[in-house]
Structure 1
C-alpha cells in the first residue's frame, strides 16, 4: 500500500501529539528520583540495589535507541511511536503493582526501552516532517515537553508520596499515555522515507552486550573493587564489543546505526556537548533530592517545592531559547549555558549539614539557567546539517550515546559517592571531629556529595574547548540542511 502526505504540514497538531508523548516519557524519569529513599525503606533494600531502578531505566532507553532508525524506516515512525507509547503505558501499570525490588527494576527497564523509542521517534518526526525554518522552534517545544516534566515532577512526586503512595507515580502515566496514543493516531500523518532491506543482528547483539557490560562494571565496581577480575573483565568486554560494533556498522551494507553521520563535524561536536550537559544535569537531579532527604530529613513534598523554581525556569527558557537560536546561533548560547552550569555545580559542592534550603534553591536556579541555554541549541545544531533520510539514524545515535553515558554517569556518581563517603568517614573517626555515629554518617555523606558535584562541574566545563572546533558565525543557526530542509510532502515510500 502507498500513502503520501502532500500539501501543507500542520505544525501545531503534530507538535501537540509529540508534546504529550515526550512529556510522559520524561515524567517517568523525573518523578522517580525523589522516591528512591522511600522505596529503599519500602522494599528494605540498599541504595546500590535501588539505583538500578534509575540506571536500568536509562540504560534501556539507550539500548533500544539504536533500533529506532531501522524500525522507524521499516514500519514508519508514526507506527513505532504508537507501539512505544502503548508499551510504556502498559509497563507503567506493571511497575505500580510490583511486589519486589527485582520486579520493579525489570518493569522499569521495559518501561525505559519504550521511552528510548519515544524520544528517538519524536525528534526524528520533527526533522523529517517540519520545514527547516520551523525546526528550531519545534525543537524548543520538544525540549519544553521534556522540561515541563521536571518542572512539575519533583513537586508532584513529593505531594503524591506524602498523601497517596509510590504506586501513583506510575499510575499517573496511564491517562497521559492513553491521551498521547489517541492524539498521535489522530494528528500525526503516516509517512516513510527509507525502507531498510535487512536487519543488522550482529550490530544489535554487540551494542546491547557492550552497553550492558560497561554499565554493570561501573555500577558494581565500588562493591566488587575496581581492580577485581569481574570489574576488569566486564569493562574490557564492553570496550571490545563496542569496538566490534563500530567496525560492523562501518562495513555493513544496511547498518543498524549509520555511523557515517560522525563525518559531520558539527554533529559530532554538538552531540558530545549535549552528552556532557546531560551528565551534568543528572548529577543535580539525582544528588540534590538524595542530600535533602538523607542528610537533612526533608520531606518528599518539601524537597519537590525546593526544586520547583529551578525546574519552572528550565521549562520557561526552552521556547525563549528556541526563538533566540536563529539570531545568536549555537556557539554563544551554549558557551553561556556551560558557564552557568559550571557555576551552579560548584555552588552545590559547598553543601554542609545545616545548609539553608534557599542556598540549594538558588544553586539549582543557576544550574538550570545554564541547562536552558545549552539544551535546545546543542540538540538543534547537532541535526541541522544531517540529510532527512539520515535523521532517524542521527537521532538514534544521539539518544543511545546520551542515555548510555547518563547511565554510566549515575553509576559512577553513586560509586564515587559511596567511596568518598567511606574515606571521609574514616578521616572523621581518626580525627575525632564528630561526636556520634549519626553525625559522622551525615558529615561524611555530605562531603561525598560535595566531591561528586566538583567532578560533575569539571566534566561540564570540558565542553568549552569543544566549542572552539566549530567555525560558525552568530546568526547562522538555521543554515545547513539545504534541500533536505523541505517538508515531507512527496517523500512517502511504498510499504
Structure 2
C-alpha cells in the first residue's frame, strides 16, 4: 500500500482531479498556442520556418527527453513534490520565454519550458493510476485527457487574440497566474505517498536514451536540407539506432532501470502504445500544417486562424467526458477503430487543399479529424494502462509520454523535411507545365507539398486500424499483470 502522510488517506475525487487537471491544461496549452504564433515569430525575429519551428520541435523534444526520468524521480522524491517542482519550473521558464530577445533565445527557453512540461503529463497520469481505484480510472483518464484537449481547443484562439491585441510575449506571461493557482492546488489536494524507493540512478540509460532521441530527431529534421542519403544524415541515423539498442539492452539487464521495460511484455499495453504514437503523428500534422497554410497561403490573421480552428477543437474537447462514460459499454476496440477511420478520412480530405479553398472546407474536415482523435485517444491510453500493476505504472506512463512526445517531435521534423523535399519536386513539375512566375510557382508548390504530406499522414494513420481491432475488452475482475493481454 502507498505510504501516505496523515490526513491524506481518503482521496476526494473532484478536488484531486481539479489539482491535476489545471497542471495538465497549462502544459498542453504551451504547445498548442505556439502553432498559431510560428508565423508571428518568423515576422518578429526574421527567421526561416526551418529554424523557428524549433520553438515547437525543441519543446516537444525536451518533453520526450525528460519523460524517461519521471519514474525514477517520482519514486525518489514522491510524485506529489515532483509535480509541484515541475509546475514551479514551468512558471519560471515561461517568464524567460516572454523576455526572449532573438530566435536562439526563444528556442532555448522553449526547450527549458518543454523539459518541465515533460514531467507534468506523465506525473499526472501516474497519480491517477496509483491513487484512484480502478473503477474510477476510466473517468479520471477522460478528464485528464479533456484537460489536454481543451488546451488545443482554446489555445489557437487565445493565442490569436493575445497576438492581435497585444504581442506574442503575452502567450508566455499568461501562464504565470495559471501556474501559481496550479501550484496551490497541487500542494493542498495531491497526497504525499511513495510506493518504492529506487536503489540507484541509471546514468548510462539516461545518456543513451538522450543520445538516441537527439540523433534521430536531427537526422529526420535535417534530411530535407542535407539529403536522405548524405553522410551526416546516415551517421546520425546509425548513432541513434546504436544508442537505442544499447539503451534497451541496458534497461533489460540493470537492477534499477531508468525505464522498466518489463511493461512492454504486456502485449495489450504495447499495441495501444503503438496506436497512441500513430494518433500523435496525425494530431501534429493538423496542428502544425493548417495554421501555416491559412496564414501563409490565404493571408488570414492569427486571430482568424484560431476562430477557424475553434469549432473542431471544441468538439474534440467536449466529446472526451462522453467517451469516458461509454468506454465500459463499447470497449476500446470499437472506439479506437471508429476514431482511426475518422482521422484517416479527415486527413485524406485535407490532402486536396487549394489556395482558394473555403474556410468551411478546412473547418469541417478538421472537425472530422478531431472527433476521431477524441474517440481514440483516451481508449488507447487506458486500455494498456489498466493492466499494468500500480508499482510499474510510473514507468509505464513515463514510456507512454516519452514516446508520445518523441513521435510528436519526429512528426514535426519529418513533416517539415517532407515539405521541403516535396516542395522542390512539385516546383520542378510546375515548371515543366509552364508555370514560371516566381511567386505563383512558390505558392502552388507549397500548397501541393502540404497535400503530399497529408497523404503520407493518411497512410500512417490507417496503419493503426488493424492494431485497434486487435485489442479485446478487459475481462471483468482481471488483476493487472505485466504479462496479461
TM-score (norm 1): 0.95
- CA distance in 1 between partners of 2:290 and 2:36 (Å): 9
| 1:493 aligned residue | none
Q: CA deviation at 1:481?
A: 3.9
| 1:32 aligned residue | 34
Matched residue SS, 1:57? helix
| 2:176 aligned residue | 174
Q: Residue deviations 1:67-93, cap 9 Å, x none? A: 000000000000000010000110000
Matched residue SS, 1:460? helix
| 1:368 aligned residue | 370
Please give the residue correspondences for 1:281-300 in structure 2 after superposition, counting only pairs within 5 Å: 281-300=283-302
Matched residue SS, 2:234? helix
| 1:234 aligned residue | 236
| 1:160 aligned residue | 162
1:123 is the counterpart of 2:115: no
1:337 is the counterpart of 2:334: no
1:243 is the counterpart of 2:245: yes
Matched residue SS, 1:349? helix
Provide closer, same or farther for how the CA distance between residues 80 and 138 of structure 1 changes in structure 2, counting only shifts above 3 A: same
1:465 is the counterpart of 2:469: no
- CA distance in 1 between partners of 2:411 and 2:84 (Å): 30
Match of 1:411 among 410, 413, 422: 413
Provide closer, same or farther for how the CA distance between residues 295 and 310 of structure 1 changes in structure 2, counting only shifts above 3 A: same
- CA distance in 1 between partners of 2:138 and 2:233 (Å): 43
- CA distance in 1 between partners of 2:90 and 2:230 (Å): 37
Q: Residue deviations 1:346-392, cap 9 Å, x none? A: 11111001000000000000000100100111111110000000000
Q: CA deviation at 1:8?
A: 2.7
Provide closer, same or farther for how the CA distance between residues 263 and 5 of structure 1 changes in structure 2, counting only shifts above 3 A: farther
- CA distance in 1 between partners of 2:378 and 2:241 (Å): 31
| 1:490 aligned residue | none
Provide closer, same or farther for how the CA distance between residues 419 and 184 of structure 1 changes in structure 2, counting only shifts above 3 A: same
Match of 2:264 among 245, 262, 265: 262
* RMSD of aligned Cα (Å): 1.5
Q: CA deviation at 1:4?
A: 5.5
| 1:442 aligned residue | 443
- CA distance in 2 between partners of 1:233 and 1:41 (Å): 34
Unaligned runs of 5+ in 2: none
- CA distance in 2 between partners of 1:7 and 1:90 (Å): 32
Q: CA deviation at 1:469?
A: 3.4
Stretch moving more, 3-12 or 273-282: 3-12
Q: CA deviation at 1:183?
A: 0.5
Q: CA deviation at 1:466?
A: 1.2
- CA distance in 1 between partners of 2:321 and 2:224 (Å): 41
- CA distance in 1 between partners of 2:174 and 2:209 (Å): 33
| 1:391 aligned residue | 393
1:53 is the counterpart of 2:91: no
Q: Residue deviations 1:154-175, cap 9 Å, x none? A: 1111111111100011111111
Q: Residue deviations 1:464-486, cap 9 Å, x none? A: 1213433x24xx487544599xx
| 2:279 aligned residue | 277
- CA distance in 1 between partners of 2:477 and 2:160 (Å): 43
Tell whether the 8 Å contact from 2:387 to 2:481 is kept in structure 1 after alignment: no
Unaligned runs of 5+ in 1: 485-495
| 1:492 aligned residue | none
Q: Residue deviations 1:1-21, cap 9 Å, x none? A: 973566432111110000000
Match of 1:187 among 186, 189, 212: 189
| 1:225 aligned residue | 227
Please give the residue correspondences for 1:455-494 in structure 2 after superposition, counting only pairs within 5 Å: 455-470=456-471, 472-473=472-473, 476=474, 480-481=478-479
| 2:309 aligned residue | 307
Tell whether the 8 Å contact from 1:87 to 1:111 is kept in structure 2 after alignment: yes
- CA distance in 1 between partners of 2:82 and 2:402 (Å): 17
Provide closer, same or farther for how the CA distance between residues 102 and 276 of structure 1 changes in structure 2, counting only shifts above 3 A: same
Q: Residue deviations 1:302-343, cap 9 Å, x none? A: 110000000000110111100010111100000000000000
The number of equivalent residue pairs is 480
Matched residue SS, 1:355? coil
1:76 is the counterpart of 2:78: yes
Stretch moving more, 458-467 or 354-363: 458-467
- CA distance in 2 between partners of 1:129 and 1:84 (Å): 19
- CA distance in 1 between partners of 2:254 and 2:397 (Å): 19
- CA distance in 1 between partners of 2:347 and 2:468 (Å): 20
- CA distance in 1 between partners of 2:262 and 2:366 (Å): 38
